[in-house]
């Protein structure tokens, strides 16, 4: 993959190329930035550059390129087996061949996950150490790309820390993180952080026109809703995307809370509890965005809002219920639920408790 295939991010690409040209490449790099900004695409492009754009990279099977990513435990795995990336090498490469822009949800589906949470196990860190102890097959760099390192369990994180403290010769680590604040501070301190910005709307618009054949007006609207997130732009082109389901669930929650319909709120909570935990967390993130958008909608400045037409249609009547008296508390309520679900709390209890508290918060003025 070449930097020219990365959507936008020209400044970031030039900076990385300059580091390589001046031989100032850090041994451990932490790529951060908002979702869909192209962190993984930049990592793949930089890895390709370091490995001299070898023809082997067309299928991402270069012997000096190692991938680490969150995995799940499948039913057929033994009780004592800790899953590692190699267990899912085939679906991972299949996903990479479809493109450098993808989400956790897409990866979970690719693995065949149901309700599990994907993590990076301690066995994976052992595999990293073993793989990188080998000499470079091509006589140059070895590159280790670790996608979502914040999903390492504590044992795995501590083992990776030891590797970063004494890195193998001519090895470059590229950690691609969505939530770097969840990484061990000691790991963050041993990496050089690169913060990438959202993709400019113009770049998304042009990519939609060139790659997807959209006309200019539609591309402009999709780019605006995507707000710097290429993955979201692609979701908007999918008529059955997950966010439409989340919008329905958001509308139902708010209407039932406003009506103080505890019986149906309990049924709503039970329905949500059947979602996998990863999907529940994505839904709560969507809810938080909708609270922000509805609060800003009250200011009647269209440039401040980034909603689809369906979202905006609901907000026209609902936005007045999100105000200075409750917006912070509602956001914190959703953040606590997101945290609790991530800690494996009972989903039925978390969502029903959240729904009951929403009744009180919605009537604040």
Question: Measured between alpha carbons, how far is residue 218 from residues 202, 209, 223, 236, 362 in Å?
Answer: 13, 9, 8, 11, 35
Please give the average per-residue pLDDT across 142-147, as a whole number: 97
**CA–CA gap between residue 27 and residue 224 (Å, rounded):** 37
Domain with CATH 3.40.50.300 in the chain: 3-197
CA angle 176, 140, 20 (to 5 degrees): 55
DSSP state of 198: P
What was the pLDDT predicted at 240? 55
Is pLDDT larger for residue 139 or for residue 187? 187
Q: Token pair for residue 231? A: 């993955």
Host H or E run for residue 196: none
SS3 content of the chain, % helix, strand, coil (to 5): 60, 10, 35
Domain with CATH 1.20.272 in the chain: 233-363
Please give the average per-residue pLDDT across 187-194, as a whole number: 96
CB distance 145 to 66 below 8 Å? yes
**CA–CA gap between residue 323 and residue 335 (Å, rounded):** 18
Beta partners for residue 267, in sequence order:
none
CATH architecture of the domain with residue range 233-363:
Up-down Bundle (1.20)
Please give the average per-residue pLDDT across 195-224, as a whole number: 91
Domain 3-197 sits in which CATH superfamily? Answer: P-loop containing nucleotide triphosphate hydrolases (3.40.50.300)
**CA–CA gap between residue 251 and residue 257 (Å, rounded):** 10
Nearest to 311 by CA among 257, 246, 258: 246
**CA–CA gap between residue 12 and residue 31 (Å, rounded):** 11
Tell me the pLDDT tens digit for each residue of 253-301: 999 999 999 999 999 999 999 998 888 999 999 999 999 999 999 988 8
Q: Could you tell me the pLDDT band of residue 239, with boundaries at 50, 70 and 90?
A: low
pTM of the model: 0.72
């Amino acid at each position: 993959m070449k930097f020219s295939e990365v959507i936008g991010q020209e400044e970031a690409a030039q900076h990385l190329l300059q580091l390589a040209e001046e031989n100032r490449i850090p041994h451990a790099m932490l790529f951060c930035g908002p979702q869909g900004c192209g962190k993984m695409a930049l990592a793949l492009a930089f890895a390709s550059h370091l490995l001299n754009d070898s023809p082997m990279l067309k299928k991402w099977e270069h012997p000096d390129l190692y991938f680490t990513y969150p995995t799940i435990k499948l039913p057929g795995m033994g009780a004592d087996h800790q899953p590692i990336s190699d267990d899912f090498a085939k679906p991972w490469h299949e996903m990479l061949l479809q493109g450098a822009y993808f989400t956790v949800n897409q990866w979970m589906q690719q693995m065949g996950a149901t309700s599990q949470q994907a993590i990076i196990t301690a066995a994976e860190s052992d595999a990293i150490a073993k793989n990188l102890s080998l000499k470079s097959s091509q006589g140059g760099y070895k590159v280790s790309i670790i996608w979502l390192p914040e999903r390492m369990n504590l044992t795995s994180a501590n083992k990776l820390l030891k590797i970063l403290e004494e890195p193998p010769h001519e090895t470059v680590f590229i950690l691609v993180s969505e939530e770097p604040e969840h990484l061990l501070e000691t790991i963050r301190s041993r990496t050089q952080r690169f913060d990438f910005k959202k993709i400019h709307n113009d770049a998304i618009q042009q990519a939609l026109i060139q790659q997807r054949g959209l006309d200019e007006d539609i591309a402009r609207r999709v780019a605006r809703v995507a707000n710097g997130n290429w993955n979201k732009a692609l979701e908007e082109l999918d008529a059955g995307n997950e966010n439409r389901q989340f919008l329905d669930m958001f509308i139902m929650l708010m209407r039932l809370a406003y009506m103080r319909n505890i019986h149906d709120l309990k049924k709503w909570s039970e329905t949500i509890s059947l979602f996998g935990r990863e999907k529940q967390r994505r839904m709560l993130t969507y809810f938080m965005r909708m609270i922000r958008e509805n609060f800003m909608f009250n200011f009647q400045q269209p440039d401040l809002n980034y909603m689809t037409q369906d979202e905006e249609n609901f907000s026209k009547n609902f936005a007045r219920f999100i105000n200075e008296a409750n917006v912070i508390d509602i956001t914190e309520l959703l953040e606590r639920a997101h945290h609790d679900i991530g800690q494996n709390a009972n989903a039925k209890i978390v969502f029903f408790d959240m729904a009951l508290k929403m009744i009180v918060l919605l009537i604040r003025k």
